[in-house]
Amino acid sequence: MLRGRDSTEIVSALSRCRSAFIGVGVMSGLVNVLYLTGSFFMLEVYDRVIPSRSVPTLVGLMALALVLYAFQGLLEMIRSRILARVGAALDEALSARVFDLVVRAPLKGATPGDGLLPLRDLDALRGFLSGAGPGAFFDLPWMPIYLVICFLFHPLIGVAAIVGALVLALVTYVTDRSTRTPAQAATGHGLRRNGLAEAGRRNAEVLAALGMQGRVGARWASANRDYMEAQQRVSDVAGGFGAGSKVFRMALQSGVLALGAWLVINNMATAGIIIASSILVSRALAPAELAIANWKGFVQARQAWGRLSELLARIPAVSQPHALPAPTRSLAVEGVSVAPPGAPRLVVQDLSFALQAGQGLGVIGPSASGKSSLVRALVGVWPPVRGKVRLDGAALDQWSSADLGPHIGFLPQEVELFAGTIAENISRFEVSPDPEHVIAAARAAGVHELILRLSEGYDTRIGEGGAGLSAGQRQRVGLARALYREPFLVILDEPNANLDNEGENALTQAILGVRQRGGICVVVAHRPSALAAVDLVLMMADGRAQAFGPKDEVFKRVLRPAPAPVAAEPQAPMPRAMGFGSGPGGSQASGQASGLASGLGSGQGGPGGGPMGGPAQPPAGLQESA
């Protein structure tokens, strides 16, 4: 089971149970010695009680046998309970780490088809340790002792027992070789099946609305059929060899019984040898038979060990860095290049800029220009391939997630809320949160009145993913969560995608509130209304910065008026509202700013790039095209 890619963490967790394993080994030895009770009881009955016809001897032997059987049962019960607690101890030692793997694996590009596979692997290890399999393996080393006693009865009985042991060893080897490939195939099909089921659960509304449930269901049924066929092959092979080994052991027991009778007939053994040797040979081969019967669980546990070991090695535990003071001054992006986890392609290349406390940055650009990838780097979700993101001069990798999180406010494109109350979601599931901070965050997001109109206010329970709330409500609650406890850096990715006019006004006030209290706000937007409260703009295209600076200046560089229509051409096209000029990046991003005309440059951000300022006028290009 401990193959070449053993995980130090798993071995370390099991090593803490070393004393328990030693105790199980000692008890296994005692149990196997006590298993001789039946053989020697029959030997004494046939060789002493029956010839002497002594009832007191029979009663004494019976009483002694009952006492030994009671001790045997007690020791087996204690052994099984110890193994069950070893499995529980392994789960306790690794469960938090495995949950960490489940959460961090998608950020490292290491997500299997079934995102919960590490938890299932831990369950498989715990289940194997708590089952009958380990007991069988602890009993195997005692087989030679039984074989030696068989030789003491008679050499021919010993030879028969050795032949039986060799046959069962061969069956065990063939079982392992025959079940390995179908077991691996079953695991792969199971991952695909569980992945399709999870995707269907997440997209239930789309499946129902577009009539796709039947087709996706057919794909799942195909994956499930492949999984069941592979599982059936494993069960058939393991069950077939298990049944064969059981029949062989029964036949061997009868053969040894006949051999003992032949020895008695030829005066080479006593009558008690007939029964005692039969029971002893059966007991000698029982551990091997039990191991074969539990081989399927052993193979699954071995595969789970290998997968979990590999994932633990790929995603090591995060060390706790030295605590740093709360950031209050600046955000610096220094030559940052970003690639999606597990992908070699750079989606953000050599990006550099700096923001000071009180500034707001709007990030614009066409789809797939790298905006959301930049956002993930700014919050530390995707570590840069090159370069550094710094808060007050400290790179993000100098912070732990738990220490950095309170200083970051993040609203992703797809707002994910968790099952619980509104207050719990806003407070980021903080233990015993201060209600004043929760309400302050809701007021800053302009969602306080909306929450009060819900059935139970802040105590209203929502389902997984925010079930029970509209998309706009989820986005505004997510904004409140981002603003909880006034983080220094607030990053909003498409924050107005699902907002109405009231929500957009609240969003503008929230951005202004962050800047007024000395925070930094970064807003990624396609709709111009989200940029009303920022003073700086970064234009991106193809993963690179095309322009960066004060909002009005950037708009003047990247936007230009359309040429006036020619009067002599009656069929001339209608004038465009705007287009890209020849400023930096203009030739690369021509035509990519469509839809930004209305409202760009208006609002309350300062035109000169300062922290705050009065309302700005629309860019000159927009005035001319008007």
pLDDT score at 338: 95
Residue 248 parent element (H or E): helix 213-265
Q: What is the number of residues in the chain?
A: 626
Condensed to tens digits (0 to 9), the pLDDT of residues 179-215 reads 778 887 887 888 788 878 878 877 777 778 888 888 8
Distances (CA, A) of 589 to 135, 352, 365, 547, 579: 69, 19, 8, 11, 10
Other Cβ atoms closer than 10 A to 517: 12
Other Cβ atoms closer than 10 A to 550: 19
Q: Are 422 and 451 in contact (CB under 8 A)?
A: yes
- pLDDT of residue 495 exceeding 70, the answer is yes
- pLDDT of residue 1 exceeding 60, the answer is no
Helix (H, G, I), strand (E, B) or coil at 364: strand
pLDDT score at 152: 84
Domains delineated in the chain: 7-314 (1.20.1560.10), 330-558 (3.40.50.300)
Condensed to tens digits (0 to 9), the pLDDT of residues 347-369 reads 999 999 999 999 999 999 998 99
What values do phi and psi take at 334, rounded to 5?
Answer: -115, 100
Condensed to tens digits (0 to 9), the pLDDT of residues 437-489 reads 999 999 999 999 999 999 999 999 998 878 889 889 999 999 999 999 999 99
Which has more pLDDT, 249 or 121?
121
pLDDT score at 561: 55
Q: Are 507 and 482 in contact (CB under 8 A)?
A: no
pLDDT score at 332: 97
519 class by beta-carbon count within 10 Å (0-12 exposed, 13-18 middle, 19+ buried): buried
- pLDDT of residue 66 exceeding 90, the answer is yes
Closest to 599 (Cα-Cα) out of 362, 372, 411, 359: 362
Other Cβ atoms closer than 10 A to 573: 8
Q: What is the mean pLDDT of residues 130-148?
A: 83
pLDDT score at 150: 83
pLDDT score at 374: 95
Condensed to tens digits (0 to 9), the pLDDT of residues 143-177 reads 888 888 888 888 888 888 888 888 877 887 887 78
Q: Max CA-CA distance within the chain?
A: 135
- Helices and strands per DSSP (H, E), number in the chain: 22, 12
d(CA 172, CA 156): 24
Structure tokens belonging to residue 402: 């738990």
pLDDT score at 313: 86
Distances (CA, A) of 120 to 177, 301, 302, 305: 24, 10, 13, 11
133 class by beta-carbon count within 10 Å (0-12 exposed, 13-18 middle, 19+ buried): buried
348-356 vs 394-395, strand pairing mode? unpaired
pLDDT score at 577: 35
Q: What is the mean pLDDT of residues 294-303?
A: 81
The pLDDT-based confidence of 537 (bands split at 50, 70, 90) is: very high
Nearby residues of 437 by Cβ (< 8 Å), 6 or more positions away: 427, 484, 485
pLDDT score at 112: 56
pLDDT score at 82: 92
pLDDT score at 564: 53
In angstroms and rounded to an integer, the radius of gyration of the C-alpha atoms of the chain is 36
pLDDT score at 445: 94
- pLDDT of residue 531 exceeding 80, the answer is yes
Helices (H), 1-116: 8-15, 18-34, 36-44, 50-52, 55-104
- pLDDT of residue 521 exceeding 90, the answer is yes
Condensed to tens digits (0 to 9), the pLDDT of residues 414-436 reads 898 999 999 999 999 999 999 99
- pLDDT of residue 566 exceeding 70, the answer is no
pLDDT score at 273: 79
Q: What is the mean pLDDT of residues 548-553?
A: 92
Mean residue pLDDT of the chain comes to 82
Least confident of 23-27, 138-142, 236-240, 557-561: 557-561
Least confident of 206-215, 250-259, 286-295, 360-369: 286-295
State the virtual CA torsion across 122, 125, 126, 131 in degrees, nearest 10.
Answer: 160
The pLDDT-based confidence of 519 (bands split at 50, 70, 90) is: very high
